[in-house]
Amino acid sequence: MSTRAEQYAAQVLRREQLSTHLVRLTLGGDGLAGFASTGIPDEWVGLVVPEQFQSRYYTVRCWDGAEMVLDVVVHEVGLVTEWAARDCVGDTVTITEPKGSFAMPEGARWLLLVGDLTAMPAMARIAATVTDVPTRIWAEVPDDLPGYLPAGADVTWLAPPAEGASNLAAVVEGIDWPAGEGYFWMAGESAQMRAIRKHLMRDRRLPGTAYDVMGYWRGVSRRQPRAVDPGPIWRSGKAQGKSDEQIWAEYDAARES
Ligand X SMILES: Cc1cc2nc3c(=O)[nH]c(=O)nc-3n(C[C@H](O)[C@H](O)[C@H](O)COP(=O)(O)OP(=O)(O)OC[C@H]3O[C@@H](n4cnc5c(N)ncnc54)[C@H](O)[C@@H]3O)c2cc1C
Q: How many CB atoms lie within 10 A of CB 75?
A: 15
β-strand pairing of 135-140 with 154-158: parallel
Is 63 a binding residue for ligand X by CB under 6 A? The answer is: no
Among 29, 31, 78, 142, binds ligand X (CB under 6 A): 78
Half-sphere exposure of 58 (CA within 13 A, CB side): 29
Please list every residue from 15 through 54 that binds ligand X, using CB under 6 A.
44
Is 242 a binding residue for ligand X by CB under 6 A? The answer is: no
CB of 246 to ligand X, least distance (A): 35
Rounded CA-CA distance 55/97 in Å is: 12
CB closer to ligand X, 183 vs 216: 216
Among 9, 29, 37, 75, binds ligand X (CB under 6 A): 75
Q: Which residue is nearest to ligand X (CB)?
A: 78
β-sheet with 135-140: strand ranges across: 154-158, 135-140, 111-116, 183-189, 211-217
Rounded CA-CA distance 60/46 in Å is: 10
CB of 102 to ligand X, least distance (A): 11
CB of 97 to ligand X, least distance (A): 13
CB closer to ligand X, 101 vs 242: 101
Q: With contact defined as beta carbons under 8 Å apart, do 227 and 251 qualify?
A: no
At residue 73, the 3 state secondary structure works out as strand
CB of 72 to ligand X, least distance (A): 5
Residue type at 18?
A: L
| Nearest alpha-carbon partner for 183 in 220, 158, 212 | 212
Which positions from 90 to 109 touch ligand X by CB under 6 A, shown as an x/- string?
Answer: --------------------
Among 24, 56, 125, 197, binds ligand X (CB under 6 A): 56
Is 79 a binding residue for ligand X by CB under 6 A? The answer is: yes
DSSP track, 42-58: T-EEEEE-TT----EEE
Please list every residue from 110 through 169 that binds ligand X, using CB under 6 A.
118, 121
Which positions from 210 to 239 touch ligand X by CB under 6 A, shown as an x/- string?
Answer: ------xxxxx-------------------
Task: Report the residue count for the chain.
Answer: 257
Among 8, 58, 183, 184, binds ligand X (CB under 6 A): 58
Q: Which residues pair with 68 in a beta bridge?
A: 27, 63
Q: With contact defined as beta carbons under 8 Å apart, do 128 and 150 qualify?
A: yes
Q: Name the residues that contact ligand X, by CB under 6 A.
A: 44, 56-59, 71-73, 75, 77-81, 118, 121, 216-220
